[in-house]
């Protein structure tokens, strides 16, 4: 707590909201007094730097737009930048935001370990930093984290794979089915802290079925390092699936389930399966999972191709992040709901975590259309 309070005070200095008395009072690193009661800057005078990873995935476009709009509605100035999954570009963008006088930074990192220098500069300039959706690692200079319960997202991915394959019922209870089946596993980008949480969560429900000899990862590729897809790149996933089909399934065996942690990968995986003859009445697609409820996957689910996705409402993530920015700017203590899980290697980062929802054909309309996330025309329902 002392660390985050110290960071908060640092933030207040950056924003000009900490009373001078507090600066003089308890000396460097002083941990008490004055937060939130000092002179305030107006939102109009505060530039919020938003660093997003890429526009190649819809979710980050939504995230960026939602954040920008909600911040601007409150009067803040916003600098929204996308780095197209290129680490040096994101580093430059952060340098620019800092030199242009950003008061607060909200960062969805590409490589969660690559921003140490920039965040040190941010700290030196008393700029508070919120890690957005992806934890920034190996630095003390990240003040807060907003995301979803990433381990649970993984559990939901594994659970939906097993529901789709008939081993669990809709409530997640074992059905008693013991028919053997082949599966393959995919992981996210190894430099994204979330990816290991997703994989561990998924394997926590899948592994018991492997241990019982019901499910077999026929390629033998079960280590995260083996199955991880750098930068979450759909083309890499597609070619890995093509290679798996050639190396492991050319003798007539079929794959009945594929754990995929992200819709972009799922679409690539389905493309490889289609080219290999899957997706017909005689040879149906395996159960393929996903994440982010992207439009192409929503359509694929409705078409009976991809089985499931995990819906993480980016509107809500933007809301809690904007509330955090606003609280920091006003000198208040932002609301968090987790102070245990997200150790970034230097400290446990106080977090606000949201809940996610498994989507299949059965609840897609209710969750994605009736809530206004997509229009009926967009998904074709
Ligand atoms: C996000 C996921 C997303 C993935 C690829 C992760 O950090 O949490 O929602 O699917 O990045 O963009």
Least confident of 21-30, 57-66, 274-283: 21-30
| CB of residue 232 inside a 6 A radius of ligand 1 | yes
Express as a percent the part of the chain with pLDDT over 70: 90
The pLDDT tens digits of the residues spanning 285-317 come to: 999 999 999 999 999 999 999 999 999 999 999
pLDDT at 11 over 60: no
| CB of residue 85 inside a 6 A radius of ligand 1 | no
Give me the domains of the chain, ranges plus CATH numbers: 5-142+313-354 (3.40.50.2300), 150-311 (3.40.50.2300)
Q: Please tell me the distance between residue 214's alpha carbon and the centre of ligand 1 in angstroms.
A: 30
The answer to whether 201 and 155 have CB atoms below 8 angstroms apart is: yes
Kindly give the number of the ligand 1 atom that is closest to the alpha carbon of 198.
8
Instruction: Give the pTM.
Output: 0.89
| CB of residue 133 inside a 6 A radius of ligand 1 | yes
| CB of residue 297 inside a 6 A radius of ligand 1 | no
| CB of residue 262 inside a 6 A radius of ligand 1 | yes
With helix as H, strand as E and coil as C, how does the chain read? CHHHHHHHHHHHHHHCCCCHHHHHHCCCCCCCCCCCCCCCCCHHHCEEEEEECCCCCHHHHHHHHHHHHHHHHCCCEEEEEECCCCHHHHHHHHHHHHHCCCCEEEECCCCCCCCHHHHHHHHHCCCCEEEECCCCCCCCCCCEEEEECHHHHHHHHHHHHHHHCCCECCCCCECCCCCCEEEEECECCCCCHHHHHHHHHHHHHHHHHHHCCCEEECCCCCCHHHHECHHHCHHHHHHHHHHHHHHHCCCCCCCCEEECCCHHHHHHHHHHHHHCCCCCCCCCCCEECCCCCCHHHHHHHHCCCCCCEEECCHHHHHHHHHHHHHHHHCCCCCCCCECCCCECCCCECCEEEECCEEECCCCHHHHHHCCCCCCHHHHCC
Report DSSP state, residue 324: H
Q: Which of 55, 131, 153, 291 to mutate to test the pocket of ligand 1 (most atoms within 8 A of CB)?
A: 291
Residue ID of nearest Cα to ligand 1 atom 3 = 262
Q: Which of 262, 313, 317, 356 to mutate to test the pocket of ligand 1 (most atoms within 8 A of CB)?
A: 262
| CB of residue 148 inside a 6 A radius of ligand 1 | no
Kindly give the number of the ligand 1 atom that is closest to the alpha carbon of 263.
10
Q: Please tell me the distance between residue 146's alpha carbon and the centre of ligand 1 in angstroms.
A: 13
CA distance 310 to 360: 9
Roughly how many angstroms between the first and final C-alpha of the chain, as a whole number?
48
The pLDDT tens digits of the residues spanning 43-97 come to: 999 999 999 999 999 999 999 999 999 999 999 999 999 999 999 999 999 999 9
* Interstrand relation of 357-359 and 309-311 (parallel, antiparallel or unpaired): antiparallel
**What are the backbone dihedrals phi and psi of residue 343, each rounded to the nearest 5 degrees, phi first?**
-85, 120
């Amino acid at each position: 707590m002392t660390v985050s309070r110290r960071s908060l005070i640092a933030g207040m200095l950056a924003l000009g909201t900490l009373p001078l008395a507090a600066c003089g009072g308890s000396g460097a690193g002083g941990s008490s007094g004055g937060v939130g009661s000092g002179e305030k800057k107006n939102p109009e005078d505060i530039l919020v730097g938003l660093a997003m990873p890429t526009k190649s995935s819809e979710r980050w476009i939504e995230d960026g737009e939602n954040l920008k709009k909600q911040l601007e509605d409150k009067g803040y100035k916003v600098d929204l930048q996308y780095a197209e999954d290129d680490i040096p570009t994101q580093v430059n963008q952060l340098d620019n935001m800092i030199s242009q006088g950003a008061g607060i930074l909200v960062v969805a990192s590409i490589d969660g370990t690559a921003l140490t220098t920039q965040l040190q500069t941010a700290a030196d300039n008393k700029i508070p930093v919120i890690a957005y959706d992806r934890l920034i690692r190996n630095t003390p200079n990240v003040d807060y984290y907003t995301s979803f319960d990433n381990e649970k997202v993984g559990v939901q991915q594994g659970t939906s794979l097993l529901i789709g394959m008939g081993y669990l019922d809709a409530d997640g209870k074992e059905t008693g089915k013991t028919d053997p089946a082949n599966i393959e596993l995919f992981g996210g980008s190894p430099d994204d802290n979330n990816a290991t949480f997703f994989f561990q969560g998924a394997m926590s429900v899948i592994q018991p079925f492997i241990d019982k000899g019901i499910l077999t990862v026929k390629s033998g590729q079960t280590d995260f390092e083996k199955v991880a897809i750098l930068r979450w790149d759909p083309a890499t996933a597609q070619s890995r699936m093509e290679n798996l089909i050639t190396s492991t399934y050319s003798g007539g065996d079929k794959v009945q389930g594929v754990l995929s942690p992200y819709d972009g990968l799922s679409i690539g995986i389905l493309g490889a399966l289609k080219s290999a003859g899957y997706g017909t009445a005689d040879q149906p697609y395996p159960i393929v999972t996903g994440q982010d409820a992207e439009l192409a996957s929503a359509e694929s689910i409705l078409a009976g191709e991809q089985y499931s996705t995990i819906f993480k409402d980016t509107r809500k993530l933007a809301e809690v992040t904007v509330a955090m920015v606003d609280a920091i700017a006003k000198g208040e203590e932002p609301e968090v709901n987790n102070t245990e899980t997200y150790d970034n290697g230097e400290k446990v980062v106080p977090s606000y975590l949201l809940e996610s929802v498994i989507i299949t054909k059965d609840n897609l309309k209710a969750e994605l259309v009736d809530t206004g996330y997509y229009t009926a025309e967009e998904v074709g329902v």
